[in-house]
Amino acid sequence: MEADDETIVKIPGLTVLTITGTGFVATDGNVNVYIKDIPFTVTEGQKVTIVGEKLTSDMKVPYIEGGKMTDEGTGSVTQKQPLDVTESLDKVKADNYQLVTLTGTYDAIMKCVGIRGMANSAYIYDYKDVDALEELGGHKLTVTGYYAGTANPVVRIIPSEIIDHGYNETVYFFDDFEWMDPWTSLIGVHDWVEESDKVAAE
């Protein structure tokens, strides 16, 4: 998208691929576009012309905000196979809003999917059914969606589908908790643990 930020643009011939929490992802058959904060409704498979403001996200990825929609009926799109980034999350090589997929353990507090051995996590962004995710903490999920940029340690994904594989009984912790040292030294946690061990031994 070549236009400057805060420029009103018109994009014809878009077919809606996925509904998100605040908008949708669509394609003209060559590239995918993310439209958010829309004052109208669309359905998957609908063909539209969009007029809106071009902006750039904090991930340095362009998107369209608000605007107007003209209904052009329905369209059909053959989606490419998603790029599996499970093993390459730290160095994702994908186009903006390219369809990707990954499998990992969901952290409901951080709203991220973590993968063992990866420094980066996949942040679930603008999901249409965000309330359902609250119950999936600790579950193994396969997330398929649109790549919306990287700012280490976060890779932003706009989901089109989330498959729940159930609770992951093997939960990996990647934090050595060094950040807690100032507090543990102040409140004497180490001494308390040692004393507790002595009592338990008796």
Q: What is the pLDDT of residues 117-174, one digit of tens each?
A: 999 999 999 999 989 999 999 999 999 999 999 999 999 999 999 999 999 876 555 4
Amino acid identity of 153? P
What are the residue boundaries of the structural domains of the chain, listed by start? Answer: 7-74, 83-167
Residues whose CB falls within 8 Å of the CB of residue 191, separated by 6 or more in sequence, listed in order: none
Amino acid identity of 50? I
pLDDT surpasses 80 at 183 = no
pLDDT surpasses 60 at 181 = no
- Do 7-74 and 83-167 share a fold? yes
What fold, for 7-74?
A: OB fold (Dihydrolipoamide Acetyltransferase, E2P) (2.40.50)
Query: Residue 156 has which token pair?
Result: 């932003």
CATH superfamily of 83-167: Bacterial OB-fold (2.40.50.200)
Q: How far apart are CA 23 and CA 16, in angstroms?
A: 10
Secondary structure element (H or E) that encloses residue 182, with its range: helix 181-187
- The SS3 call for residue 128 is coil
